[in-house]
Amino acid sequence: MTRFVFITGGVVSSLGKGLASASLAALLQARGYNVRLRKLDPYINVDPGTMSPTQHGEVFVTDDGAETDLDLGHYERFTGVAARRTDNITTGRIYTDVIEKERRGDYLGATVQVIPHITDAIKEFILADVEEEDFVLCEIGGTVGDIESLPFLEAIRQLGNELGRERALYIHLTLVPYLKSAGELKTKPTQHSVTELQRVGIRPDIILCRSECALPPEERAKISQLCNVPADNVISAPDIETIYEVPICYHDQGMDRQLLRYFGLADDERKPNLKRWRRVVKRIRKPEREITIAVVGKYTSLIDSYKSLVEALSHGGIANNVRVRQKWIDAEIFESEDAVHQLDGAEGILVPGGFGERGAEGKIAAARFARERRVPYFGICFGMQMAVIEAARNLAGITSAGSTEFGDCPEPVVGLLTEWLHGGQVERRDHDTDLGGTMRLGAYECELRPKTRVRKIYRKKRISERHRHRYEVNIRYRKQLEKAGLCFSGMSPDGVLPEIIEFPEHPWYVGVQFHPELKSRPFEPHPLFASFIGAAIEQSHLV
Ligand code: GLN
């Protein structure tokens, strides 16, 4: 029997509902239960693929090629369960489906309305594609009280009634602010938020309180009394040093026990095994030393736009027992000649994914600096494309090398790919194709050439990694680039798409067309990140 846990948020946004959901799922998983996490987003975009990363944060790509909310990244990192297309829905997607059905005449003359048609579609999504799961945790995006989340709240209210008490539980995450002038934590916003939730017919079973410090017993008692929840079900979620400690923090307060008791599942049957969580936290807290990686990107104003990257770098640190200090530098700075000295002192340089011409020359300059100074370089997606342009211009003598992403170009070393193979099928695009959902998306296989650095790192002949890009390194330049010393160490199985490049003579210089950060986990740091950080440590011994 699958049980459903609905997580709503109140008072303010950005409380970390995604992390809270992922942490609870991790606890249930540590007790041996099968879990699945889902995100329901109330915005009108069909998916976050077309949203600016500086507004909405990273777009997380699943193996099956869906562009999803960044919370799905937390879900994967905390549970190791690969998210699917069916795990993220938006208002836009729901309406698109309902309107398509209406046009087909599927509603047989009915007036199509928010209730029941939209709410039914939301319920269908929540219940679909569930098999062996013991628990499905559904996070509702937005804040209670927002107009756009109403249909979602109505749908989960109805589901609670339909599934019955023994299969549905509601968790409400709120903020308990600390008022300096009064020297107190304030519970009033939580009370109001719960009232707001009750107005739409939902009574929370567990209240999770975000605050700067741990919730004292009096405040807990107050929330319990005024919000109609047993005191043991009021859980404190204080700010802590590392996100990987959150599951331990919840467990220490009995959150998983309370949830299982609610469902009538004996608590003592399966004790959670939190050893690996404790080990990771210890490594993060007490690293042997610190190294600095310069990340030369574009969306540096909102660190959430590179969420998985930030985590993957820290996983690379965990693998090597070091703390990775990330020095984020806006690529545009490098467009002036001498700014490159900003990179002095960095033990590794990483150029992450990105879109558009702004900052591109700065990234090319950073790639050149890394190559010439023999500093470990990791180019991801756009970072690989810029590294190839750099090599073409400065090593292969193709001085006007560029990418067609920036307009017409005499030497398109990186160009728009109009046709490729995916799972035996040909996919086609051109310049006029819609922007949403049309990139090369999701998991693709890649063959690693023997005796290369990446082959040693992965210890495999064939790998599978996730993609999200429109442009590709142009295979027509391969010979020229190889002559100049660049090795094409990973190729698509049909030999058409360059997936990985490296400089064999350099201490560590790797560019990948995919996004390895999407598959890195605290317990299984991605091999490329672990190796890159290892190389940066080596480098630091040299200076
Ligand atoms: N803008 C590049 C492309 O579309 C790279 C995208 C990325 O870095 N994810 O190919």
Which of 50-54, 160-164, 399-403, 494-498 is predicted least confidently? Answer: 50-54
467 lines ligand 1 (CB under 6 A): no
Query: Are 212 and 355 in the same domain?
Result: no
Query: Are 259 and 298 in the same domain?
Result: no
The CA–CA distances, whole Å, from 229 to 173, 203, 255 equal 13, 9, 13
381 lines ligand 1 (CB under 6 A): yes
Query: Are 292 and 268 in the same domain?
Result: no
Among 236, 366, 225, 353, residue whose Cα is nearest residue 299: 353
Q: How many CB atoms lie within 10 A of CB 153?
A: 26
Contact call for residues 24 and 74 (beta carbons, < 8 A):
no
Asked if residue 102 belongs to a domain, the reply is no
469 lines ligand 1 (CB under 6 A): yes
Query: Are 215 and 360 in the same domain?
Result: no
Q: What's the pLDDT band for 432 if we cut at 50, 70, 90?
A: low
Q: How many CB atoms lie within 10 A of CB 25?
A: 24
Query: Are 364 and 379 in the same domain?
Result: yes
Mean pLDDT, the chain, rounded, equals: 92
Asked if residue 114 belongs to a domain, the reply is no
pLDDT of 291-301, one tens digit each? 999 999 876 66
Which of 71-80, 218-227, 405-414 is predicted least confidently? Answer: 405-414
The confidence score (pLDDT) of residue 424 equals: 67
Q: pLDDT: is 266 or 207 the higher one? A: 207
Asked if residue 428 belongs to a domain, the reply is yes
Asked if residue 101 belongs to a domain, the reply is no
70 φ/ψ sector (left φ>0, alpha ψ -120 to 50, else beta): alpha
Asked if residue 115 belongs to a domain, the reply is no
- Gyration radius of the chain over CA positions: 25
Contact call for residues 48 and 148 (beta carbons, < 8 A):
no
Domain with 361, as residue range(s), is: 287-542
Asked if residue 252 belongs to a domain, the reply is yes
Give dist(CA 323, CA 314) in Å, integer: 7
Query: Which of 240, 262, 280 finishes a domain?
Result: 280
Q: pLDDT: is 48 or 366 the higher one? A: 366
- Find out whether the peptide bond into 116 is cis, omega within 30 degrees of 0: yes
Closest residue to atom 7 of ligand 1, CA basis = 353
The confidence score (pLDDT) of residue 266 equals: 73
The CA–CA distances, whole Å, from 495 to 178, 458, 463, 476, 490 equal 59, 19, 14, 12, 9
The CA–CA distances, whole Å, from 163 to 416, 481, 493 equal 49, 61, 47
Give dist(CA 324, CA 317) in Å, integer: 6
297 lines ligand 1 (CB under 6 A): no
pLDDT at residue 265 greater than cutoff 60 = yes
Query: Are 148 and 181 in the same domain?
Result: yes
Query: Which of 280, 310, 333 finishes a domain?
Result: 280
pLDDT at residue 274 greater than cutoff 80 = yes
- Give the residue numbers annotated as catalytic, written as ranges: 381, 515, 517
Residues pairing with 38 in the sheet: 138
Q: Which atom of ligand 1 is nearest to the CA of 472?
A: 10
The confidence score (pLDDT) of residue 480 equals: 95
| CATH value at residue 508 | 3.40.50.880
Query: Are 229 and 297 in the same domain?
Result: no
Residue 39 in tokens: 């995100």
Span from the CA of 312 to the centroid of ligand 1 (angstroms)? 19
Query: Which of 280, 309, 335 finishes a domain?
Result: 280
pLDDT at residue 423 greater than cutoff 70 = no
Q: Kindly give the pairing relationship between strand 487-491 and strand 440-448.
A: antiparallel
Among 363, 365, 345, 343, residue whose Cα is nearest residue 355: 363
The confidence score (pLDDT) of residue 55 equals: 77
Span from the CA of 71 to the centroid of ligand 1 (angstroms)? 21
Give dist(CA 29, CA 27) in Å, integer: 5
Span from the CA of 515 to the centroid of ligand 1 (angstroms)? 10
Place of tokens 């077309």: 50
Asked if residue 310 belongs to a domain, the reply is yes
31 lines ligand 1 (CB under 6 A): no
> Beta-strand (E) ranges in 131-285?
135-140, 168-175, 178-179, 184-185, 206-211, 234-238
The CA–CA distances, whole Å, from 369 to 63, 128, 365, 382, 383 equal 34, 51, 6, 17, 13
Query: Are 226 and 363 in the same domain?
Result: no
Q: pLDDT: is 336 or 444 the higher one? A: 444
- Kindly state the percentage of the chain with pLDDT values over 70: 94
Among 442, 402, 473, 337, residue whose Cα is nearest residue 66: 442
Residues pairing with 464 in the sheet: 445
Total domains in the fold of the chain: 2
pTM of the model as a whole: 0.93
State mean pLDDT over 302-326. 93
Closest residue to atom 6 of ligand 1, CA basis = 469
Query: Are 485 and 463 in the same domain?
Result: yes
The confidence score (pLDDT) of residue 183 equals: 86
354 lines ligand 1 (CB under 6 A): yes
The confidence score (pLDDT) of residue 119 equals: 97
pLDDT at residue 109 greater than cutoff 60 = yes
Span from the CA of 230 to the centroid of ligand 1 (angstroms)? 50
The confidence score (pLDDT) of residue 399 equals: 94
Span from the CA of 505 to the centroid of ligand 1 (angstroms)? 27
Span from the CA of 469 to the centroid of ligand 1 (angstroms)? 4
Fill in the amino acid letter for 177: P
State mean pLDDT over 457-466. 97
The confidence score (pLDDT) of residue 84 equals: 94
Q: What is the DSSP string of 522-534?
A: SSS--HHHHHHHH
The confidence score (pLDDT) of residue 439 equals: 84
Query: Are 463 and 350 in the same domain?
Result: yes
Give dist(CA 154, CA 372) in Å, integer: 60
Q: What's the pLDDT band for 541 if we cut at 50, 70, 90?
A: confident
Asked if residue 190 belongs to a domain, the reply is yes
Contact call for residues 483 and 396 (beta carbons, < 8 A):
yes
Query: Are 370 and 273 in the same domain?
Result: no
- Kindly state the percentage of the chain with pLDDT values over 90: 78
Report the interhelical angle of 91-104 vs 119-127 (nearest 10°).
Answer: 110
Mutation test residue for ligand 1: of 363, 364, 468, the one with most atoms within 8 Å of CB: 468
Q: How long a stretch of residues is the chain?
A: 543
Give dist(CA 443, CA 440) in Å, integer: 9
Q: Is 507 helix (H, G, I), strand (E, B) or coil?
A: coil
Query: Are 235 and 298 in the same domain?
Result: no
| CATH value at residue 150 | 3.40.50.300
pLDDT of 43-93, one tens digit each? 998 888 888 777 778 899 999 999 999 999 999 999 999 999 999 999 999
Mutation test residue for ligand 1: of 469, 497, 512, 514, the one with most atoms within 8 Å of CB: 469
